[in-house]
Structure 1
Amino acid sequence: MAISAQLGAPRRTELAAGPIEYRERGTGAPVVFLHGIIANGDVWRHVVPELAGQYRCITPDWPLGSHRLPMRAGTDFTLFGLAKLVNEFLGALGLDDVVLVANDTGGAIAQAVAARHPDRLGRLVLTPCDAIGNFLPPPIKHLQVVGRTPTGLYLLAQGLRSRAVQRLPIAFGRLTERPIPAEIMRSYTEPLRKHSGVRRDFAALVRAISSEFTQEAARGLNAFHRPTLIAWARERRRFFPQEHAHRLACILPNAHLEVLENTGPFISEDQPVALARLIQDFLTVRATA
């Protein structure tokens, strides 16, 4: 599970599909974080401390390849299946009026939650993420090939042990301006190496990825009228195209778009304080405007 103590105390809840481990810090209105594939709650380790003084920050390890405890066989890993899992998690913890904060693949899941399961949501925050027809982004499309078989997954997991491989454009290289610390990369990549159940989950996940789902989710967002912050990166690599941020801002009826400089798609890694301040402003100043 996520190793960052600044995310708070480790906890666990049981869902129909299996166990979800999470960390929790702070009190107040609930803020729940979503991450992407081959990542976990450590993505948010620099953002949560900025918000935990005012909010109850809940940072799960979603079953997207860097989780420790596998899901039950037959789990629905389609985008809308994962959205249902998120909604069940919110219900299991008794959360309402939730601020859902997401990046990467988690942003696509958050869009599906907003489209299909909006009742427990109060606000939505999307940072650079899969959207519209971009699921998966072209630089990592190969994961849908190598991740389908045990041999391919084994080779993928072993290759990701190398810091040089991690910084390649087809791995994590396009996601941040600076290398992600080695201990965080281990928390992301070790589960695929060590746990056959995690490899099974990841294979099911990549087989279920399709831009048809993100396009369907986008069509449902015009009915989500709750306030939404879209905090995107003005990055050159076009991993998550900036035009998708503008399209989402047009689709969502109550959206506000902010663009950050000097950051890759993982804004929580490159510009965590700036991102946290945007979220704080979104949750306070704009809430009272």
Structure 2
Amino acid sequence: MTHGGTNLDIERWIETTAGPVHLRELGPPTGAPLLFVHGALVDSHLWDGVAERAAALGYRCLLPTLPLGSHTRPMNPGADLDPPALADLAAEMVGQLGLRAVTVVGNDTGGGLSQILAARHPELVRTLVLTACDAYEQFPPRSLRAFFALGRAPGVLALGGQLMRLRTARRFAIPRPLSHRGVGDEVVAGWTRPLRDRALRRDTVKFFAGIEASHTLTAARQLRHYTGGALLVWGSDDRAFALDLGRRLAADIPGARLEILDDCGAFVPLDAPDRVAELIDEWLTE
């Protein structure tokens, strides 16, 4: 994809009915829009490598930080933050940006949210790109269920936030099963700092409490009738999200294609950012 004009590199806050959401934009304002959806306890910087490459290819990259634990401003006290409500929040953002349809790119928990978004608002989702993510009965994934159960207790999250003040603890925050390449200490510090804020922990606990497989199972049934297709990108060494999940989604979503990348864990955007961007470009232009 080619483009002309000046590239965006801006940050702003979008005021939604649930509360403020931070949004970064990269790439030309006239480019085909890509909405990147991150997972729990990380923010939009998970997608930096992919978005920078996609912006260079001519796409308008929308990078919101959703209230999944690493956001920096609390949502409204009465806001519903379960997965369907967050999918609706994303749809509201797309509407506020004046966009008719976007390509939704999700990873980890964000991939589960992306499926729910496409199922609830198919008219807004041109196509799906899912990289190693929750699906079906795996929401949360079996390997992380104990972690999410503990995370529903504010005291546990508060303790985790205090531990993450230590550089030594942050070194173990993103283990090899999640990412072979890893991420810088400054980014991990940013992801975990919000856990020390009571109002932000309140949002996180609310989100964690709403995660249940019924949401992704319902989305999967509806996606059997989705006409936008899906590009699925899984790591060959992903021990958090079994490759069978990707194969199952590829069989259930009409027009889906599965790509398997070597030497990648669950955080495919960290381990193979250039290749993910190139696959997105191929998928959208073929």
Instruction: Give the TM-score of the pair, scaled to structure 2.
Output: 0.92
Match of 1:245 in 2: 246
User: Quick check: 1:33 aligned with 2:36?
Assistant: yes
Q: Which amino acid aligns with 1:232?
A: W
Superposed, which structure 2 residues align to 1:1-289 within 5 Å? 8-27=9-28, 28-53=31-56, 54-166=58-170, 168=172, 171-173=173-175, 174-193=177-196, 195-235=197-237, 237=239, 239-284=240-285, 286=286
Runs of at least 5 residues in structure 1 that lack an aligned partner in the other structure: 1-5
Q: Which amino acid aligns with 1:225?
A: T
Q: Which amino acid aligns with 1:33?
A: F
Q: Which amino acid aligns with 2:14?
A: T
Does structure 1 conserve the Cα–Cα contact (< 8 Å) formed by 2:132 and 2:235? yes
Q: Which amino acid aligns with 1:261?
A: D
Q: Which amino acid aligns with 1:129?
A: C
Q: In 1, Cα distance between the equivalents of 2:165 and 2:282? A: 39
Q: In 2, Cα distance between the equivalents of 1:162 and 1:277? A: 37
Q: In 2, Cα distance between the equivalents of 1:189 and 1:72? A: 21
Q: Deviations over 1:186-236 (max 9, x none)?
A: 11111112x221100001111111112111111111111113111111115
Q: Which amino acid aligns with 1:160?
A: M
Match of 2:3 in 1: none
Q: In 2, Cα distance between the equivalents of 1:165 and 1:138? A: 24
- Aligned CA RMSD, in angstroms, stands at 1.7
Q: In 1, Cα distance between the equivalents of 2:137 and 2:106? A: 18
Aligned residues: 276
**Change in 2 beyond 3 A, CA 1:137/1:13:** same
Does structure 1 conserve the Cα–Cα contact (< 8 Å) formed by 2:75 and 2:203? yes
Runs of at least 5 residues in structure 2 that lack an aligned partner in the other structure: 1-6
Q: Which consecutive aligned stretches of 4+ in structure 1 deviate over 6 angstroms post-superposition?
A: none
Q: In 2, Cα distance between the equivalents of 1:164 and 1:210? A: 32
Q: Deviations over 1:227-280 (max 9, x none)?
A: 31111111152x001000011011101111111011111111111111111111
